[in-house]
Amino acid sequence: MRYYSTRSKAEAVSFAAAALTGLAPDGGLFVPEEIPQYPRYVTASLGSMGFHAIAFETIKPYVQGEIPDPVLEDLVLQAFSFSAPLLPVGDRLMLELFHGPTAAFKDFGARFMARAFSYVRRGAEKPLHILVATSGDTGGAVADGFYGIEGISVTVLYPRGRVSPLQERQIAGLGGNISALAVEGSFDDCQRLVKAALGNESLKKRLALSSANSINVARLIPQAVYYAAAAGKALAGTLDPDGEATPRVKDRGAEGGVRSGSTPLLTVVPSGNFGNLTAGLYAMKMGAPIQGFIAATNINKTVPDYLASGKYEARVSQATISNAMDVGAPSNFERMTAHWSYEALRKMILGVAVADEDTRQAIRRVHDTCGYFLDPHGAVGWEAADRLQGLLPPGPLAVLATAHPAKFAETVEPLTGPVPVPLSLKKVMERRVDARIIPADITALLEVLS
């Protein structure tokens, strides 16, 4: 598989080059030259295949010729040491993506990327320095995924005061080969600084640089795995039991009538930078039984407005309680439109924007009626689905639960009472935050990195 920039098809590069470079030289994002198709035996077996087998089959064509099959099998086993259960909540499904070490969906991409980087850089003389911007969960997942990986250091930029206390401890509490910068600005400022640094010729001469945001194709591709696995289960009518981290009220089992079996899955994706939804589009185009998506945003509704009008207008992000989605200029929009036209995207995606008060009401309502705790991002997805009731096609509906509600206890608990805390998060709150504060200025970042 070869990769080219979203801004030019003049020069194609390998998976390793695309992953390690992060951002294309012309400022574009790397995309595969084609979206491969699952072999027929895979699409026929998605409902019965194990998660690791689906992960191997999903990732394999994107790294063919660069990561041998036995190595890829081992990388998949190491990276995905946790589950992604699909289980019923009320009259719909929840795809729980928070059973990894940082209790957020970004564990899937970050852990695979760290191990893939380590393999493709084996024998390299120059250490690799990774820059990553985060609006919340990405930083913690990347920090954990790369922590202790020899020959690789990471600098995480996050908007000061705009992440939760727990998220900040995940980002800035590890030390070692992980450094944290608290930027006086928004996530968009952090993302702008990372892009500017990655494109700085003087810095690139001194350091081997890469990125770990969803702008990096090595983090995006593994996220297609859980879409395919969930769609296979939904089509087969096979659901999972609650996991250790499932935030359901004790002694309250699954209730209601869930639409599942025989019909492709409709997926509700809480969306900010749109890497997660792009991965879902990849899974759909590979042949996973998915009939479409609901892109659920908070008031940072750049993409829902585009889907409604055909006009894309980037904006300054606004702070909300679903902070990981506070993105006014989503990077992966460029990747989406490199693959699909406006008309094609409208056929696959419905866009809905949800304000904070409606998010809070959804958290309270789902807890009271279903005995289930939603985090603010999952609540945006749930509310978006509620608003489209009666307008959606028949079949199973799954909301992506992208982060555990205990990560946002200060928002959730006033609405629900105490949130159960998974084992993965209990030790995090004991960490001490160690971050350097910088202005949202490229000169300040270059000074830190020099």
Catalytic residues: 106
The pairing of beta strand 152-159 with beta strand 128-133: parallel
Read off the DSSP letter of residue 250: T
Phi, psi of 106 (to 5 degrees): -70, -10
Return d(Cα 210, Cα 22) in angstroms, integer. Answer: 5
Residues 6+ apart with CB under 8 A from 341: none
The answer to whether 263 touches 396, Cβ cutoff 8 Å, is yes
With 0-12 CB in 10 A as exposed, 13-18 as middle and 19+ as buried, what is 34? exposed
Q: What are residue 269's DSSP bridge partners?
A: 295
| HSE, side-chain direction, 13 A CA sphere, residue 403 | 29
CA-closest candidate to residue 375, choices 309, 329, 332, 325: 325
Strands (DSSP E) contained in 205-345 are 208-211, 265-270, 290-297
**How is the chain split among helix, strand and coil, in percent rounded to 5?**
45, 20, 40
